[in-house]
Amino acid sequence: MEIYYCRFFPFNFEVLEFSYFDTRDSFNKKWVEWSRIYEYEFVKNRLLTLGANANSKVHNSCWGYQGCHITFKNELASQFPHLINSDIQYSPEINTSVYDLTKKCPQYWKNEFDFVINISTMEEIFSSQLLVLRNLIQMLKSGGHLILTFDFPGLKLELFESLLDENIKIPDFPLKKRFPNRSDVPDHLMVGYLVIRRNNS
């Protein structure tokens, strides 16, 4: 796979996976929301297959505020004691902090984590998705992994495909949801994922 490096991304990384979800992928209805039942299971599975363990430092970025987000946060905490959770808004939940991903990555988080996860947030950021991606990768130790999911439309797909020099994989049965009564949401919304490994810089 291509290892990417440029001035804007002053470190090496490689793309391990870049695809839309398939309706045949693993899911768990306990996560309730239509795409979360796939996304949360995907993240949990990838953490384990990529070698996450009780000693791993995990950053659950843009973690969310209520419902299934809290359940997922707590389940991660039960497996990974060195978990931290951040979001742009304050939460009274334990082990949460405030951080805006469009702002400069704090120095104390650079090169700090074995795993950084970011679930269905990128599509909410309209002006600086590549900056957000850079901030997320900067948090990783050498050999660390970013696990990211996103909605499309929403993700600036052409920009990402150009940056990564790789086209997104379209499965046989892509996960889609219709919103016929929502003028602010595309009629068919698709959900995808990106897994990146940071290499020695």
User: What's residue 11's pLDDT?
Assistant: 77
Pair of tokens at residue 35: 């795409």
User: What's residue 1's pLDDT?
Assistant: 41
Residue 130 backbone dihedrals phi, psi, to 5 degrees: -70, -35
Q: Regarding the domain with residue range 3-198, which homologous superfamily does it belong to in the CATH classification?
A: Vaccinia Virus protein VP39 (3.40.50.150)
Which residues are CB-contacts of 82 (< 8 A; sequence separation ≥ 6)? 55, 56, 57, 58
**What DSSP string runs through the chain?**
-PEE--SSS-S-EEEEEEEE-BTTS---GGG-STTHHHHHHHHHHHHHHTT--TT-EEEEET--SSTHHHHHHHHHHHH-TEEEEEESS---SSSEEE--TTSPPPGGGTT-EEEEEEES-GGG--S-HHHHHHHHHHTEEEEEEEEEEEEETTS-HHHHHHHHT-PPB--SSB-EEE-TT-TTS-SEEEEEEEEEEE---
Q: Mind listing the pLDDT tens digit of every residue in the chain (201 residues)?
A: 444 555 566 778 999 999 999 999 999 999 988 899 999 999 999 999 999 999 999 999 999 888 899 999 999 999 999 999 999 999 999 999 999 999 999 999 999 999 999 999 999 887 789 889 999 999 999 999 999 999 999 999 998 998 888 999 999 999 988 765 666 666 678 999 999 999 875
d(CA 63, CA 73): 7
**Entry pTM:** 0.92
User: How far is the CA of 185 from the CAs of 31, 56, 127, 189, in angstroms?
Assistant: 22, 37, 18, 8
Query: What one-letter code names the amino acid at 186?
Result: P
d(CA 46, CA 44): 6
Domain-wise residue ranges, the chain: 3-198
User: What's residue 2's pLDDT?
Assistant: 45
